[in-house]
Amino acid sequence: MMNYHGDFLKGDRKNARYPFCIVWTPIPFLSWLLPFIGHMGICTSAGVIRDFAGSYFVSVSSLDDGLSILAYSKYWKLDVDKVCGNGAATWDKAVLDASEEYKCRPHNLCFDNCHSHVAMALNLMRYDNSTSWNMVNLCVLSLVNGKHVRQVSQPLTPYIPIEQWPCSQVWRKCVCIIYTVCVCVYIQYVYCIYNIYIHIFIYIHTCMYVCIYIYTYIYMYIYIYIYIH
């Protein structure tokens, strides 16, 4: 199995430190339905995680904890050589400045959130010679480039912490299968509801079109009848 920790020293792995990385963790329930949505933080050159955890609050990780919401599940290693400036010093200053800025901002789930905080840090350091980092491209790139912190054998493990459940591996696999079936049933249900609404919309639209046609015909008939006769 692939070793996802090959880029880090043994001490970094032991203390859950990932220098020059963007880290990500799923949000319960929300990430189960939309796997690309989660909570994001950015690490300093020493591996300390800074994440915009709530309104006017940017958390700082200790030696052995993860993000403020949950232990993080994935990391995306960035190249410090792509930072415009003095490498690690510029990186740390950008992370610090972004964190100080977001200590003065309210948290908005849709428009100004943890992804925005990370995007500001990358823009300040002009990572990869770009100042157009935002929550959308970070969401997509972290999903594509992110690697799992643990060597997982189940694709759902980052979203459901089944490795912590006090049961056998067989039961864990059964839980994954049941969850997958539930997700498939849910998708089919949403698809059926969507089709029903589409048919209702088409029916209403057709009825409105017929009504307008009839109304126009009656109006023209009355107009011609009054002004001609």
Amino acid 43 reads C
Q: At 222, give phi and psi (nearest 5°).
A: -65, -45
- Which pLDDT value is given to residue 71? 64
Q: Of the candidates 135, 97, 140, 136, which has an alpha carbon nearest to the alpha carbon of residue 113?
A: 135
- Which pLDDT value is given to residue 63? 44
- Which pLDDT value is given to residue 211? 79
Q: Of the candidates 27, 106, 112, 33, which has an alpha carbon nearest to the alpha carbon of residue 73?
A: 27
**Cα(67)–Cα(205) distance, rounded to whole angstroms?**
49
Q: Which two tokens stand for residue 57?
A: 């609050």
- Which pLDDT value is given to residue 164? 46
- Which pLDDT value is given to residue 222? 72
Q: Which two tokens stand for residue 144?
A: 């594509």
H-state helical runs in the chain: 10-14, 30-33, 88-102, 114-124, 135-145, 169-228
Q: Which two tokens stand for residue 149?
A: 């912190």
Mean pLDDT by 10 residues, the chain (229 residues): 44 65 84 81 91 90 50 85 90 95 91 94 94 92 83 47 51 68 74 76 78 74 64
- pTM, 2 dp: 0.63
